Structure formats: C-alpha cells, structure tokens
Structure 1
Amino acid sequence: MSEENTPPLPGYEGMPLAMLRHRIRSLGEEDLHRLMAYEREHAARTGVLEVLTARLDAVRQGAEPSEGDQGFQPEAAPPPAGGSPVGPASAAPASNPPPHGDPAQPARPKGDHRPGGGTRGGR
C-alpha cells in the first residue's frame, strides 16, 4: 500500500471520534493534511473532518504536537486469556423436548369433550 493510501495513525479506520481527538494531538501539519486527504477519499465523515480542521488550525496558530508513540494503544483490550471451558464434558445430556406443555403433567382430554364431536349436557 502506498503512503497516500495509509493513514498516519494505526487503527484509524475503527477509531471513535473521542479517541481521534486525543490521538491527532501528536500529528504535525503534514500528517494532518495527509489524514484529511485520506478521510475525504474514503469516508468523508463530517465530524471527523471538523475535528481534523480544528486541530490543523491550532497547529497553524502555534500549537505544538504532543510527544508520544502512535503504536502504543492502551484503548485496545488485551486478547482473552485461556480458552472456553465449554466442551463435551460440560454439555447437557441429549434429550427430546416434549411437543408442548410441562412433561411432568401429561396431557388429559378436556372434561366436556366427547370423541366424535359433541359435548356433554346437550349444548
């Protein structure tokens, strides 16, 4: 990938706007221009372009880029330790669920139901 197609911040594409505000403080004017061009070509998000423009204006007015390593990302969660405890030994025993209702209460016919159609009591 060429340098024009690579943003100067690692993980830029998935970075939330609040995090981006802090991460761009270490960029100089040239990197901010590169990042703005990258954003315009790819997503053109209005909020991101506004944040980048405000920081570029601040740098032009004398704000110094802060020091820091852009490779260091404390915001990222560490990978999970260990595996899942789920396995064949912890699986539930195989069973067929009942077609409906509670298996402890087997189905009973209704008291007023007569096989063949009618009901008791001449109704």
Structure 2
Amino acid sequence: MNDTPQHNDLPLADYDHIPNGTLPSRIAGLDQKGLDQLLEYERAHGNRLPVLQILESRLEALRGGAEPSGTTVPTTPEVSQSSSGSPVSPATSGPPVNPPSQGDPTNPSQPR
C-alpha cells in the first residue's frame, strides 16, 4: 500500500506551481502534519533540493517552538490555466517604440 500523499490531498492548492520565493510565506500557516505531508510528497515526486531545504527549515523551526501563523496566504494560481490567448490589444499595448536617434533629422535631442 502506498501512503505517499497525492496532489489533491496536499494542504496547499497548486503546490507544484508555487515559486520557491513565495513558498516560505505559503507554508507559515501549516502545522507539523501539513509540512510532513509536503515533505513526503516532495521526496516522492519532485525531490527538489531548494524546496526540501525550505520545508525542512520550517519543520525545524516548528520543532524548536515556532507556532504556525494560523493563516495561509490566499491561494492564487501561479500559472495561468486560461487558454483564451493574450489580453493584449491595441487599446492595452504600450506606446510605439521610437526609431533610433542617429540619422533622424526630426529628433531634437541629437546634434545635426
């Protein structure tokens, strides 16, 4: 029997797509049981050293007396699941790019 947690059973939604930079704030509200689940899942699936170090560091802090914050950062998808295409349109695009100034007699910032 395989006791490794499955993706849908993890305490953090969309765990596999959370950037390492936001992982510490995302796991701050988890208790030791939640961290143990993430560690077991990570070791069985991704086994990414930076992620393991973040999870193990937080677990050590909890064992040393730190308390879970009681809240987790609201779940926001890190990777867009939308297939509707780019939201860029002429109305939302940036200003036109200026041509190079060299050789452009209409550019007052360049000597002629």
TM-score norm. by structure 2 comes to 0.61
The structural deviation recorded for 1:67 is 2.1
For residues 65-104 of structure 1, the aligned pairs below 5 Å read 65-69=68-72, 72-73=74-75
Please list the CA deviations of residues 55-86 of structure 1 after superposition, one character each: whole Å capped at 9, or x if unmatched: 0000001100012255x235759979xx7769
The answer as to whether partners of 2:42 and 2:48 remain within 8 angstroms in 1 is yes
Provide structure 2 residue ranges, at least 5 long, that are not aligned to the other structure: 91-112
Query: Across the two proteins, how many residue pairs are aligned to each other?
Result: 82
Among candidates 28, 33, 37, match of residue 30 of structure 1: 33
Residue number in structure 1 paired with 2:65:
62
Higher relative contact order (CA 8 A, sep 6+): 2
Amino-acid identity (%): 33
Residue number in structure 2 paired with 1:10:
13
Give the aligned CA root-mean-square deviation in angstroms.
3.0
Provide structure 1 residue ranges, at least 5 long, that are not aligned to the other structure: 87-123
- Structure 1 or 2: larger helix share? 1
Provide runs of 4+ in structure 1 moved above 4 Å. 74-80, 83-86
Residue number in structure 2 paired with 1:47:
50
Query: Whose radius of gyration is greater, 1 or 2?
Result: 1
- Aligned to 2:43, the other structure's residue is in SS state helix
The structural deviation recorded for 1:20 is 0.7
- Aligned to 2:58, the other structure's residue is in SS state helix
